[in-house]
Amino acid sequence: MREHEKLSVRRQCELIGLARSTAYYQSFETSDADLALMRLLDEEYLRHPFKGSRKMREWLLDQGLDVNRKRVQRLMRLMGICGLNPTRSTSKPHPGHKKYPYLLRNVTVSRANQVWATDITYIPMAHGFVYVVAIIDWYSRMVLSWRLSNTLDTSFCIEALNEALAKWGTPEIFNSDQGVQFTADDFTKVLLDKGIQISMDGKGCWRDNVFVERLWRSLKYEEVYLHAYDDLSEARCGIGNYFGWFNDERAHQALGYSVPSAVYFASLAESNRIKIAA
């Protein structure tokens, strides 16, 4: 990209919507030792998401691993996780991005496409790691779209959002956390242009987006931890197959042992019947 005859690096970045710093970024290999620690941190974080770097270090010491806190902090930042205790400065959303209130408190979600939710999680591989973003329908738990990325940028989140909107229509409310990917103007503009209400979890309130958190737990214990993906292509194939099975075959107790896709389409059919009758 930098060797283009006519366009400067700055202009090239503007045309493709890429931060100029990204063009100069030099990737580095994460050591096998760090990858092993990240895998352990990920598993413990799923069990106890309230643990910050201090408690994570104490837990690692209990496992016989003498790791200093600065290393734990660095790895948790790399993974995109932090302790969820309601203490000051547990997370620092982008100061220039608008934050939206949480709209789902005391709201009864009774139909498909009433509320969608999204989140990002860390996915370990045999020789590296990636991130996955998913968008789900809150009522049916159906995974509407997803994307993988090796960086925590906004673009792969926007791709997933645009795919969900193109395939499944428009929700009334869209819920996320306050991460910079979801508060970015490029992301919220897609929602606002469609007239969608934006809802965001409070700081440290992981229960506000509990259905996506449950999806991550299922994905990791039922698929990711059982396979050591060699590369991004293998991870994409494995996770894609899992989400297909999750939507169409995995019965959910909370759904009366129905599968998400059946609940989703039945709800849409009922909504259409009511509209026609009216």
For the four alpha carbons of 134, 230, 237 and 47, in that order, the dihedral sign comes to negative
Pull the structure tokens for residue 268. Answer: 């849409």
- The pLDDT of 10-34, averaged and rounded, is 63
Parallel, antiparallel, or unpaired: how do β-strands 128-137 and 115-125 relate?
antiparallel
Token pair belonging to 138: 């809150």
Residue 101 placed within a domain: no
Predicted pLDDT at 156: 95
242 and 186 within one domain: yes
Same domain, 160 and 199: yes
What's the maximum distance between 2 C-alpha atoms anywhere in the chain? 67
Are 124 and 255 within one domain?
Answer: yes
What percent of the chain stands above pLDDT 70? 83
Structure confidence by residue, pLDDT tens digits, 212-268: 989 999 999 999 999 989 999 999 999 999 999 999 999 999 899 999 999 999 999
What is the count of structural domains for the chain? 3
Model pTM above 0.95:
no
Q: Is 127 in a helix, a strand, or coil? A: coil
Q: Dihedral through CA 214, CA 262, CA 102, CA 190, nearest 10?
A: 110
Task: Encode pLDDT of 169-220 as tens digits.
Answer: 999 999 999 889 999 999 999 999 999 999 998 765 555 578 898 999 999 9
User: For residues 260 and 140, what is the distance between their CA atoms, to the nearest angstrom?
Assistant: 5
Pair 39, 174 in one domain: no
- Of 220, 267, 209, which is closest to residue 243 (Cα–Cα)? 220
Same domain, 75 and 208: no
Residue 100 lies in a domain: no
Name 174's Cβ contacts closer than 8 Å, sequence gap at least 6: 115, 116, 117, 118, 191, 196, 197, 198, 199
Residues 247 and 164 in one domain: yes
Domain hosting 72: range is: 33-83
Strand partners, 79: none
Evaluate whether residue 121 is within a structural domain. yes
The pLDDT confidence band at residue 49, using thresholds 50, 70 and 90, is: confident
User: Within this chain, do residues 63 and 20 fall inside the same structural domain, yes or no?
Assistant: no
